[in-house]
Structure 1
């Protein structure tokens, strides 16, 4: 393919050289004449292992040229990558001026081009940037998105020092697009890259780099805090984390990475509190570990706020134990939610077939009696009565018996804390705790009739 790359910095230089290695013909575009000269001489614009050889090889084969003229590059190529910098302001906002300037230059160039053109944003940008770039190109070119051109998001996953290796062996190839032709072209472009090709929504693709890098930063800080605690105890922290990383079933895995309700149970709250206390006894500051508890409390608060916001007093709680298929109420987060709602005067009904009050013993019984001493007045094993008599249904556990809830009880307000359904077509009101609405039914847009007005004290 014929490719143009706008921006010959770190990502642009690596991308140009690697695409040429895959047999594509590349035109680099940059306002910096020195970078253009280097690329035209077969030299890289950065220092990176393996990049000099790739640039020289591409130059010798006539697969890489560079220019300062955007119109020339756009006219001779079918895909234009935008890989210019997005520096941060002091407040943390991104400066997208370079992105929008390039979009304008591409737009001007497209005025004189009849063929369909694909613009791929490779730079790290916040959700919504893709749409804005498309609007700028439409304005400057007089052409229509998805008719004459399209804009896709194709974030890179390169690490400095190993970027060439990472380009050819990424964890995945991610493309956000709403255009089938663009998807086909990008699949063809990356067909020799041995990684899963993932095509998704544009804003999802734009979000991914921030989620990835923030998590990487979190891992580093978490490892350091564990290391500082271990040092205070005379324990080899590298051996601890080496064994930690061997667990691919829970520790290094998709498990626990599902947005939803707060954690609970007998282990996580207790053990995390113990580790915090140990650090405090050693006079080791662990702000990340310290903040886990408060973040979890915030998620309980989010659940309470979401329920209250619906303006309905009759609330049915579907599941009281901290996990589906158990009767363990110890530190169950929904218990705290119920306690707060009862204190605010809500009429609560609770369904949980696994919780038999007469059989509660030990710490399980002590916990729930301290929180809700008259629990027997609220809990039942009659699912139908709870659903029938409640205006708001709060799904707290992924139980199979809840699968047909939406069909069986129409026109309710359903608050889902666990993503019980991937997508719904419900004629009532559906809301997920940590995800946007997945309800496709027009009734979702109707305003919920409240039976009380909330008062702030």
Structure 2
């Protein structure tokens, strides 16, 4: 395939060499004449393992060439990859001027181009950038997006120092597209690589680089805070984290990585508070660990705000324990919400087959006696009678019984979903999800 790459910095240079090595003819485009000259002399524009050999060999095979002439590059290729810089400003906002300057170039050239052209934005950009880029091209060229051309999101996940290896061994390849043909064309560039090719919504793809890198930063910060606590106690933190990482069932896994309701129960809140207190007593500052529970409180407050925004006062809870399949009410976020709403004068009803007041005892009973001492007055025995007699239904546990009833019932009540219910329920007009 004939490919043009706009921007010959880190991502652009690696993509240029690797795509050429995979048999494509690639034109590199940059406003910097020094970078253009380097590529045409068979030299890379960056220092990176193996890229010098690749650029030299592929240039000698005439598979790569560089130019400052953007019009030539667009007219002579079928797909363009945008890899220009998106530096951060002092206030943290991205400088997208280079991206939109390239959009202007495409708008000018697409006026004359007769064939369908795919533009893949590989630069790290904020959600909404693809849409704005396409709008600029449409306005200038008077061509139609997804008819005459299509802009897709194709974020890169390359690490400096191992970029060539990462390019050839991706865990997955991500393409955000609103046009099937464009998605297939972009995907064809990576079909020989290992890892799944995931085609998704454009905005999902645009935000993924931020999610990945922020999580990587979080992992480093968390590990360092654990290290600082352990060091203060003369514990080998490296051994601690080695053992932590051997658990791929829970610790290093998809478990707990589902956005939605807050955490609760007897273990997480207690043990987090214990570690926070330990760090405090050791005079070790751990801002990441110190703020985990504050983030959890914010999610509970978010749920309360969603309920208040309905303007309705008769509220039903499907599930009051801290998670499905248990009767544990300790630190349950649903209990916290119910307690708050009762204090604000809401009419509350609760159904939870796992919670039998006659069986509650010990710490579980003590917790309820403090927080909702009149819980038994709020609970109903039949799910059907609750559904028919409220204005808002809060689904706080993912029990199959709740899902079945909601699928069978066309209740006019507003549904506020904390657990991500199935599509048929989520598609209803009277539905709100906490994070989707």
Q: TM-score, normalised by structure 1?
A: 0.94
**Partner residue, 2:302:** 302
1:362-377 map, 5 Å? 362-377=362-377
Secondary structure in 1 matching 2:369: helix
**Partner residue, 2:12:** 12
**In structure 1, C-alpha distance between the alignment counterparts of 2:218 and 2:423, rounded to whole Å:** 28
**Partner residue, 1:27:** 27
1:426 positional shift: 5.3
Secondary structure in 2 matching 1:140: helix
Secondary structure in 1 matching 2:246: coil
**Partner residue, 2:231:** 231
1:386 positional shift: 1.3
**In structure 1, C-alpha distance between the alignment counterparts of 2:101 and 2:429, rounded to whole Å:** 46
**In structure 2, C-alpha distance between the alignment counterparts of 1:74 and 1:41, rounded to whole Å:** 22
Secondary structure in 1 matching 2:291: helix
* Change beyond 3 A, Cα 1:428–1:68: closer
Structure 1, unmatched stretches of 5+, are 436-457
**Partner residue, 1:455:** none
CA contact (8 A) 2:407 2:424 kept: no
CA contact (8 A) 1:339 1:371 kept: yes
Secondary structure in 2 matching 1:299: helix
1:2-401 map, 5 Å? 2-401=2-401
Cα deviation digits, residues 391-445 of structure 1 (max 9, x gap): 100000000011231431422100001112245365551000112xxxxxxxxxx
Q: TM-score, normalised by structure 2?
A: 0.98
**Partner residue, 2:416:** 415
1:307 positional shift: 0.8
**In structure 1, C-alpha distance between the alignment counterparts of 2:381 and 2:400, rounded to whole Å:** 15
Secondary structure in 2 matching 1:419: coil
Secondary structure in 2 matching 1:274: helix
**In structure 1, C-alpha distance between the alignment counterparts of 2:169 and 2:317, rounded to whole Å:** 47
**C-alpha RMSD over aligned residues:** 1.0
* Change beyond 3 A, Cα 1:76–1:59: same
1:139 positional shift: 1.7
1:381 positional shift: 2.6
**In structure 2, C-alpha distance between the alignment counterparts of 1:426 and 1:3, rounded to whole Å:** 40
**In structure 1, C-alpha distance between the alignment counterparts of 2:339 and 2:411, rounded to whole Å:** 27
**In structure 2, C-alpha distance between the alignment counterparts of 1:380 and 1:45, rounded to whole Å:** 70
Secondary structure in 2 matching 1:174: strand
CA contact (8 A) 1:410 1:426 kept: no
CA contact (8 A) 1:8 1:45 kept: yes
CA contact (8 A) 1:411 1:428 kept: no
Structure 1 stretch 105-114 or stretch 122-131: which is displaced more?
105-114
1:189 positional shift: 1.4
1:132 positional shift: 0.6
Cα deviation digits, residues 38-61 of structure 1 (max 9, x gap): 000110000011010000010111
1:97 positional shift: 0.3
Structure 2, unmatched stretches of 5+, are none
Residues paired across the two proteins, number: 435
